[in-house]
Every structure is written in structure tokens, then in C-alpha cells.
Chain A
Amino acid sequence: DGGITQSPKYLFRKEGQNVTLSCEQNLNHDAMYWYRQDPGQGLRLIYYSQIVNDFQKGDIAEGYSVSREKKESFPLTVTSAQKNPTAFYLCASSGTAMNTEAFFGQGTRLTVV
């Protein structure tokens, strides 16, 4: 089955530790995205990538980093510089044609204690 896989579904980390969230897609999509979801805030764009080895900051990139070494993979690292990292993180992918919709993974809930 084609789709987007995020792992793990739940992740707990101690404050001050970096943590990497995994996102893999087998839809042959060129574009991939990371969003953060907080209650009442909707989805806010962290980073996105339109092609391998290239990515752009979204609206809330501070405290996060990404890499895009392979078309299928777009991992997100939440660094210790992120002041409030506890949230639900959603990865998505899409084709690069204009007006195309994005497909989402099941999300990773990160809790920092």
C-alpha cells in the first residue's frame, strides 16, 4: 500500500535532549512537509522540501532542523532550542504540480518532560 509512515506514534523525551521524528513515503512524491499541531492553533508549517537536498523554512522553523537526502525520507529533529516542543507533529507529501493536495501520515505525539 502506498502511503506515508511516521514513527514512532508516541515519543517521550527529557527536556534538553534532541529527538528525531521519522517520515517515509512511497508515493513517489517530490514534495514533503512538516506541520505542528497544537490545540486551537490549527496546523503550522515548520519546514518543507520540494526536491532532494533542498528545503525551506516555514512559519515556525526556530528550534527545528531537517534533512532531505532521499526522495522518500524527510526526518525532523526537534532540538533543545525549541522552547515548547510538546505537540502533535504531522508529516505530509505531495506532487509538485500546482493545486495538488497533500497526503498526511498518522502523526507523532511528542511529549517532553
Chain B
Amino acid sequence: GDSVTQMEGPVTLSEEAFLTINCTYTATGYPSLFWYVQYPGEGLQLLLKATKADDKGSNKGFEATYRKETTSFHLEKGSVQVSDSAVYFCALIPNQAGTALIFGKGTTLSVSS
């Protein structure tokens, strides 16, 4: 079945460092891809999305590009802040009606000043 694999954490960075969180997927057809963020004790918030190959999603300085050839959707940010500390989830939804989001296991990011 369809699945998402993301790098295990925790990822620990200093403020202003470059961030990459790897995400790869397995799916038939052309799924849509998402990154969600979860702050402690809260629900998930959509960070960005891409719905077709070569699309780049971006928001709040974060970017991810839908790479069909490598089945990847890596999350990047050029300069992280302490406030970016959170858990990041990569997810996909199959390109068919009546399905639900499939999530990776999440990557914890900790940024220190």
C-alpha cells in the first residue's frame, strides 16, 4: 500500500542553520504531498503542499519540491529560528476519491539560540 518514510529525529540545530528533513513516498499514480507541523500539545497545521510533479510548495520560509523521479518531497529552510522547534510530518493523499491522508512518523526539530 501507499506509505511515507521520513528521516528519524530528533534534529538539533542552532539558530540560523540550514534545515533539511528528508521525505520519500511509495504510491501508485500521482498523489498530492503535504508537510504538516505540530507544536507541543496541539493539533497539526498545514505548512505547505504540492499536487503535481515539479510543483514547489512554500510557506514561512519553508520549501519542498515534488520530485516524481526520486519519489521525494524534502522539506528545507534556509535559516531556522527557535520558534520553528516542533514536530514535522510528511503526508500524502492518493489521487483517488474517498481516501485519507497517510502520514510519516514525524521528525522532531529542536532549534537552540
Contact = CB atoms under 8 A, between A and B. Distances in A.
B89 interface: yes
Kindly state the interface size class of chain A when it binds its partner: 20 to 34
Given A42-B89, A43-B89, A50-B98, A99 B32 contact: yes
Interface residues of B, number: 24
B100 A99 contact: no
Contact of B43 (A42, A45, A104): A104
Interface of B is mostly: loop
Given A45-B100, A96-B97, A104 B89 contact: no
A105 B93 CA distance: 19
A107 interface: yes
A22 B93 CA distance: 25
Contacts of B45: 104
B11 to A, nearest CB: 15
A2 interface: no
A11 interface: no
Interface of B: 32, 34, 36, 41-46, 49, 51, 89, 93, 95-98, 100-106
Given A43-B101, A92-B101, A104-B44, 12 more contacts: A33-B100, A35-B103, A42-B89, A42-B104, A48-B100, A58-B100, A96-B97, A98-B32, A99-B51, A99-B95, A101-B101, A102-B100
